[in-house]
Chains A and B, each alone.
Chain A
Amino acid sequence: MTARVLVADDEPGMRDTVREILEAAGYEVVVASDGDEALARLGHGHFDVVLLDLRMPGRDGLSVLRTLGEARPTVIIMTAYALEDQLQAVGAKAFAVLHKPVPVPHLLDVVGPAAGKAA
């Protein structure tokens, strides 16, 4: 079965290119432009993996991660900011923390096992 991935990023260029890359790799992708939209999408469908940008207007990625609780999909944090964000995210049990700019082979290397873990 095709893995479903939610990509939540407020930057349209990032969101749309990541969506296209993951779709070309065989994933079914849904996008959200902020944390509230991400939570709304997550409330109305099953997702195997969520790619969450940390800094978004309104509800940010870590807030989304905390709201989701234990029965959440596998979460991968993407951030342009380093240490303090990373430690918080690891503490909140994200599957991985990726530092932007993320080379595409690295992104696919991490999303694959994350989708496998969720299956």
Chain B
Amino acid sequence: MAQERLAAIGELAAAVGHELRNPLGVLGNVVYLLRSRLGGGDPWAAEKLRTAERELAAATLIVADLLEFARPRPPVAAPHHLPGLVDEVLSVAPPPDSVRVETGWPAELAPVAVDRDQLRQVLLNLVTNAYEAMPAGGVVTLNAERQPAAVRLTVADTGAGMDDETRRRLFEPFYTTKTKGIGLGLAVARRIVEAHGGALTAESRPGAGAAFTLTLPSSPPVEEPDR
């Protein structure tokens, strides 16, 4: 009986999530149009638009995580370059004023075979978690490196770090230490990465920040990898 109720709640949550995708899409388009008209010359408007973009990204992520948890979708992979996907994520979820983002890409980084929507969801989870781990500000570093037949991306923050229990339970569904959020982001992110044949791991110590490492199989080169 409890199982049936849980399934019914899951179905309801998924239905609500689907219905929210259209209005979230329209809001994203409106913010983009406002930014193209107002964002350049007016620092006040630019700052408000960045806040709107961050909050929209957070709402979109909650819906995406909920749907992916309730109804997992097998990836439809195509070759993509990680730096382009990271740029897209940083434009959708720009850092708060107190956070600086640094990126390091090796020359000739091989493309990875990924479902673009799903990898964006993974990266959004890692990047927004890093922002939230540093309420007083800090640095998020995204570094990629080539591996034999794989690409490894590390997302590191300079926040407060995690204790042993948090690090052990980090990828459990509904486990969260945050005052907001539903605790699905990292569970879903790991499931997506593993469905791509990759791995997602975390390292952290109290007071020493956290680093998430994403390893994805590289894809054979193609002519137009970013479509």
Check A82 against B33 for contact (C-beta < 8 Å): no
A40 at the interface (CB under 8 A from B): no
Mark each residue of chain B from 21 to 47: 1 if its CB lies under 8 Å from any CB of chain A, else 0. 111111111101100100000000000
Chain A's interface size range is 20 to 34
B55 at the interface (CB under 8 A from A): no
A13 to B74 Cα, complex, angstroms: 30
Find chain A residues with CB under 8 A from B91 CB: 103, 105
A99 to B120 Cα, complex, angstroms: 12
A106 to B32 Cα, complex, angstroms: 12
Mark each residue of chain A from 1 to 44: 1 if its CB lies under 8 Å from any CB of chain B, else 0. 00000000001011001101100100000000000000000000
B92 at the interface (CB under 8 A from A): yes
Q: Tell me which of B25, B36, B71, B74 contacts A101 (CB under 8 A).
A: B25
Mark each residue of chain B from 61 to 74: 1 if its CB lies under 8 Å from any CB of chain A, else 0. 00000010001011
A80 at the interface (CB under 8 A from B): yes
A17 to B74 Cα, complex, angstroms: 30
B residues contacting the other copy or chain, number (CB 8 A): 30
Check B18 against A113 for contact (C-beta < 8 Å): no
Find chain A residues with CB under 8 A from B29 CB: 13-14, 17-18, 20-21, 104
Check A103 against B88 for contact (C-beta < 8 Å): yes
Give B89's nearest chain A residue, CB to CB.
A103
Check B25 against A100 for contact (C-beta < 8 Å): yes
Give A101's nearest chain B residue, CB to CB.
B25
A115 to B224 Cα, complex, angstroms: 15
Find chain B residues with CB under 8 A from A86 CB: 76
Give B67's nearest chain A residue, CB to CB.
A82
Q: Tell me which of B18, B22, B120 contacts A14 (CB under 8 A).
A: B22
- The 9 lowest CB-CB distance pairs between A and B, nearest first, are A101-B25, A17-B29, A80-B21, A13-B26, A100-B25, A101-B24, A104-B32, A100-B21, A83-B73
- Known: A13-B23, A97-B76, A113-B227; 14 extra A-B contacts, CB below 8 A, are A14-B25, A17-B26, A17-B33, A24-B33, A24-B36, A80-B22, A83-B71, A83-B73, A99-B21, A100-B25, A101-B60, A102-B28, A103-B88, A105-B91
Give me the interface of B with A, judged by CB distance under 8 Å. 18-19, 21-30, 32-33, 36, 60, 67, 71, 73-74, 76, 88, 91-92, 116-117, 120, 224, 226-227
Can you pick out 28 interface pairs between chain A and chain B where the beta carbons lie within 8 Å of each other?
Answer: A11-B22, A11-B26, A13-B23, A17-B26, A20-B33, A21-B32, A24-B36, A80-B22, A81-B18, A82-B67, A82-B73, A83-B71, A83-B73, A99-B117, A101-B22, A101-B24, A101-B25, A101-B27, A101-B28, A103-B91, A103-B92, A103-B120, A104-B28, A105-B88, A105-B91, A109-B227, A113-B224, A113-B227
